[in-house]
Chain A
């Protein structure tokens, strides 16, 4: 399973990539594999100011549904428009085309406090 070194991770299996004060967020390869075929990504928090740990959306797989948790404080600035018609991008390219939201991060130091790839690897065994 693939966990890129350049990303930070949460124990809820989201990844985050920081560029300036804008972060891109998605779910990990482990998460997409556990969920199985993803059929619907519902995110209705565009423009909202949220705290770390808040639910920013929901992902529906054939068999199960799972909430998406924001890794750090900030506001949602963009939702991946491709997921509406191609939710399976989350399965096929979780770190690329399958990203979920972009957000403006309140405090960029928060991102560096999250797990790195090695630590996350330890969480998922």
Chain B
């Protein structure tokens, strides 16, 4: 099992640790509910250094990115980032990812899920016909997500870069907490605002940045946050988690990711998805909330009022912010309508739920 540069700190802080995507990661430090609220109401720090980063360089880098991803990366100018996915040719998703345009038409960084680093690398390499220079910098890159409404206010004194006014999905690169070559982007997967901070894993960079962040934020209530709260935060927003809500067999159109699927350009899997769009999808990812008491979990069956199986739960939890049980799942199209009542099979019982809009409210 791999460690991140911060593993010792998590253990010293008393975090509950567990293997995640081959890394020894902090699941929770105190309580999921508490950590969740800290991020929603103030600010918290996630170690997400397990995520994968690839650099793509050269005149054909954009062509390759356009070929393998579904969103239109030609729209990116230096300093902008984009959410996208790698579709396969059978209407599934190899991974979802972020693309950072470091230098237009020349240098791009893509950020992928830890569990998919090798799969993504091979998938992209296979389509790299024009010998785009690719580097897997995952092991040499630290990533801390500082999320929450007070995150940028807390971090601003650590840098001369203007991060308080950073627009969503843009980034700056420069000196941060005495460390050079730090990329700060207004991204994150919590819906709480804040930034993600990428920097090189060398020398005492990791120590310096972690310590500076907590020295600046500690007095203001900034806390370390585990992966469990990361999951409840993203689920409240209705964001897909790879391996749960999307995978090699779910199409971006079914997953509600049509907005990152641009048919105005060519890409791997386009034909399949275009046809799927024309013919109409048979199932759709929905958000639902429980009416009966019970918590939906990944893999539970979804049924209609007659007891017919209409789909499966992909994610579920008790929502710490809303105080009710929420979930996502794929259902047959005709049930994917707001306010439709459905039943979730929780152990031996069919519990009433209804389809709702995401983000959950």
Question: Which residues of A are at the interface with B, using a C-beta cutoff of 8 A?
Answer: 33-34, 36-37, 39-40, 42, 58, 60, 62-63, 65, 91
Q: Say whether A39 contacts B295, CB under 8 Å.
A: yes
List 14 other contacts, CB 8 Å, given A34-B16, A37-B320, A42-B293.
A36-B28, A36-B31, A36-B228, A37-B31, A39-B295, A39-B318, A40-B293, A40-B294, A40-B295, A42-B294, A62-B32, A62-B33, A62-B232, A63-B27
Per-position binary interface string of chain B over residues 215-239, scored 1 when its CB falls under 8 Å from any chain A CB and 0 otherwise: 0000000000000100110000000
A65 to chain B, nearest CB (A): 6
B interface, over-half SS: mixed
Q: Which of A34, A36, A60 contacts B295 (CB 8 A)?
A: A60
Q: Which 3 A-B pairs rank lowest in CB-CB distance, beginning with the nearest?
A: A39-B318, A60-B295, A62-B32
| Residues of A contacting B231 in the complex (Cβ-Cβ under 8 angstroms) | 63
Q: Which residue of chain A has the shortest Cβ distance to B323 in the bound complex?
A: A39
How distant is B5 from chain A, measured CB to nearest CB, in Å? 25
Interface bracket on B: 10 to 19
Q: How far is the CB of B320 from chain A (nearest CB, A)?
A: 7
- Cβ of B297 within 8 Å of any chain A Cβ, yes or no, is yes
Q: Does B129 contact A (CB under 8 A)?
A: no
The answer on a CB contact under 8 Å between A62 and B228 is: yes
Interface residues of B in 1-45 (CB under 8 A from A): 16, 27-28, 31-33
Interface mask (B267-308 → A, CB under 8 Å = 1, otherwise 0): 000000000000000000000000001110100000000000
By a CB distance below 8 angstroms, the chain A residues around B294 are: 40, 42, 60
Contact A40-B318, Cβ < 8 Å, known A63-B228, A65-B295:
yes
- Of all chain A residues, the one with the shortest Cβ separation from B297 is A65
Return chain B residues, CB-CB under 8 Å to A58.
Answer: 347
Alpha-carbon gap, A40 to B320, bound state (A): 13
Q: Which residue of B lies closest to A38 (CB)?
A: B318
Residues of A within 8 Å of B347, CB to CB, are 58
Residue of B nearest to A58 (CB): B347
Q: Does B317 contact A (CB under 8 A)?
A: yes
